[in-house]
Amino acid sequence: MSFAYCGTRALIMGGTCQMALDLARALIDRKIMPIQTYRSPRGREAIEAALRDRSGQYAVCPLDLARPETLGRLDEHLNRGLDYMVDFAQEDLEGFVASVDPAAMRAYLETNIAGRTAVMQRVARTMLAGLFGRMVH
């Protein structure tokens, strides 16, 4: 199957996983600038090591869905426009629902539902302003 790409910038949430890094390389080959998100300095180092041969052809952005104050870091990238968002940022909550600690459940929902929704709102506004956009989850 062949896809036609008509944008130039893509936000990749969870940009440190192998699928995200492989996608970044494929996007760069198609002249699309990937913006890889990461949560920790170790994550940034992993991105830079994996994409060392593509220096200057990608961007990085610190983003931690559990820390709403990091959402503002997206703004510098969103202000330049955004055509795609691909979401690889996933956490696991292991255990039977009835036995999961209520505080752990609240934290999981706050991060993975509320945090993700806050990002999607910002991204959607940017895409609406540009009259184009695609989100893949």
Question: What would the pLDDT profile of 78-134 be if each residue is shown by its tens digit?
Answer: 999 999 999 999 887 777 778 888 898 888 888 989 999 999 999 999 999 999 999
- CA–CA separation, 93 and 106 (whole Å): 11
> At CB < 8 A and 24+ separation, what contacts does 127-130 make?
127/82, 127/83, 130/81, 130/82, 130/83
Over range 16-45, report the average pLDDT: 96
Please identify which residue in the block is written with the tokens 């559990």: 66
Over range 11-22, report the average pLDDT: 96
Rg of the chain (C-alpha set): 16
Q: What predicted TM-score, i.e. pTM, was given to this entire model? A: 0.90
pLDDT at 3: 63
pLDDT at 62: 97
Q: Residues with Cβ < 8 Å from 14, sequence gap 6 or more?
A: 20, 37, 87, 88, 89, 90
pLDDT at 136: 92
Q: Residues with Cβ < 8 Å from 87, sequence gap 6 or more?
A: 13, 14, 116, 135, 136, 137
Over range 25-35, report the average pLDDT: 96
Average pLDDT, the chain: 92
Residue-by-residue DSSP string for 58-107: -EEEE--TT-GGGGGGGHHHHTT--SEEEE-------S-GGGS-HHHHHH
Please identify which residue in the block is written with the tokens 């949430």: 13
Q: How confident is the model at residue 2 (pLDDT cuts 50, 70, 90)?
A: low
- Token reading at 60: 């990085």
pLDDT at 93: 76
- CA–CA separation, 59 and 36 (whole Å): 6
Percent of the chain with pLDDT over 90: 76
Residue 1 in this model has a pLDDT that exceeds 60: no
Residue 42 in this model has a pLDDT that exceeds 70: yes
Q: How confident is the model at residue 57 (pLDDT cuts 50, 70, 90)?
A: very high
